[in-house]
Amino acid sequence: MTTRTEQLATQLKALADPVRMRLVALCRQGECSVSELTEVIGLSQPRVSQHLKQLCDAGILQRFRDGKWVFYRVTARRSSDGAARRRLLDLIPVDDAVFGRDISRLQELRGDLSTGVDQIERQGDRVLYKALVELTVTAQLGDLLDIGCGRGQILKLLGTRANRAVGVDIDSDATRLARTELLLAGLPNCSLRSGDMYRLPFNDAGFDTIILDDVVADAKHPVRALTEARRVLKPKGRLIVLLAVGERSPVELQRQLAEWSRTAGLRLAPARLVPKIDPEWLLSVATAPDSQSAAA
């Protein structure tokens, strides 16, 4: 048999077990920790870990560590056998009552921590989100990285239009809350990492669109943050910089951003004030000098 045939046989064998099928159905909803999966499935952690290992060995799930926690997710779409695996996983009946109860239990475990965000957003934030959508709707997002993602509001806003969306925040509590938000929003292509914007846990040139989510202006080393973001930006990618105006002068803030960008080797487009009258945000796009992308 060919390698692909042998791999398919391994995957079919892995999915033939009802417990392993339940685990996959849960991980298709988003990243799940070992403790969450153990609680939902109702078996001992060693037994659940054995099932998870078999699914990882078959290439159906991926295991990764984020801080002190271990998470599992469905293997990334762009792996070599991604299309075949998606067709296989699509055979899992999503309307099965057992899977439905498992997903409901997972949501209960995480709790609805959203606290009615849509209702408490400030007017300036709503205008900002509208401006972000307008900025990104004309160009494909591709692989999206949100640096300083907080509770994942921008990931929720743009995640459906990205191939994959990754949020990074140094605050592990923020990423925990964001995982809950993204699970409840039904965005399985979104992933969270605890990380430092000066040392991003990604390879070079990995993302088409990067958002620096209001982290530069108050950074101790803004040029280092921009330089690190440029490192993981693809050659024709776009770096979207959000800055809260606060008590600062928008003109001075834009001047500083332009200076930082030049030092970091980025070409910065003129900033957009959001809203135009009494602005609360600066929204600008940077590209690498050799990029041919349009900076809206």
Q: What is the pLDDT of residue 276?
A: 87
Compute the mean pLDDT over every residue in the chain, rounded to the nearest whole number.
87
Cβ-count burial of 227 within 10 angstroms (0-12 exposed, 13-18 middle, 19+ buried)? middle
Go through the domains of the chain in sequence order and give each one's CATH number. 3-110 (1.10.10.10), 119-287 (3.40.50.150)
Tokens of 257: 């951003």
pLDDT tens per residue, range 264-293: 999 999 999 998 888 899 999 999 886 544
For the chain, what percent of residues have pLDDT higher than 90? 55
Q: How far apart are CA 105 and CA 38, in angstroms?
A: 11
**What is the value of pTM for the model shown?**
0.77
Q: Which whole number is the average pLDDT over 105-121?
A: 60
Average pLDDT over residues 56-70: 87
Scanning the structure block, which residue is given the tokens 């042998």? 6
Tokens representing residue 45 in the block: 């952690």
The neighbouring-strand residues paired with 33 are 71
In this predicted structure, the answer to whether residue 116 has a pLDDT above a threshold of 50 is no
Q: Quick one: pLDDT at residue 5?
A: 82
pLDDT in the model for residue 290: 67
